[in-house]
Amino acid sequence: MILSVRVPTSQPPERPGQVLREEFIKTGRVTQAALAQRMGVPIAKVRGILSGEEGITAETALQLEAALGVEAEFWIRAQFVWDCYRLREVERRTAVLEHEGKGKRPKS
């Protein structure tokens, strides 16, 4: 069972939807349709989470907890770690672009 969220240093962390897919859907523990039914949400919401188009809110985390037995805090932490990673990557890329832009001289 999943007990904690680790932040890998050599690669991006897994999105919560990836964890859901790998640990529950691919293993056959639950289907997308069954998960949607247990959560009381449309299947489109489950598909959005799995694809990464939809994040985990507090409400979604509680629904996942009720449906799968994995604490809501796990899902919230996983989303938080993913969001922080994405924001840091944007900041890092912006800093690199700004640094590269300062090294270029305008043509006269």
pTM score over 0.75: yes
**Domain membership flag for residue 108:** no
Question: Which CATH number fits the domain that encloses residue 30?
Answer: 1.10.260.40
Residue 51 lies in a domain: yes
% of residues, the chain, pLDDT over 70: 85
C-alpha torsion sign, points 15, 70, 55, 95: negative
Per residue in 9-56, pLDDT tens? Answer: 568 899 999 999 999 999 999 999 999 999 999 999 999 999 999 999
6 within some domain: no
Q: Which residue has the tokens 């990464």?
A: 52
Q: How many structural domains does the chain have?
A: 1
Which pLDDT tens digit goes with each residue over 43-92?
999 999 999 999 999 999 999 999 999 999 999 999 999 999 988 888 88
Domain with 87 in it: 16-102
Classify residue 8: in a domain, yes or no: no
Residue 9 lies inside a defined structural domain of this protein: no
In single-letter form, the type of residue at position 38 comes to: R
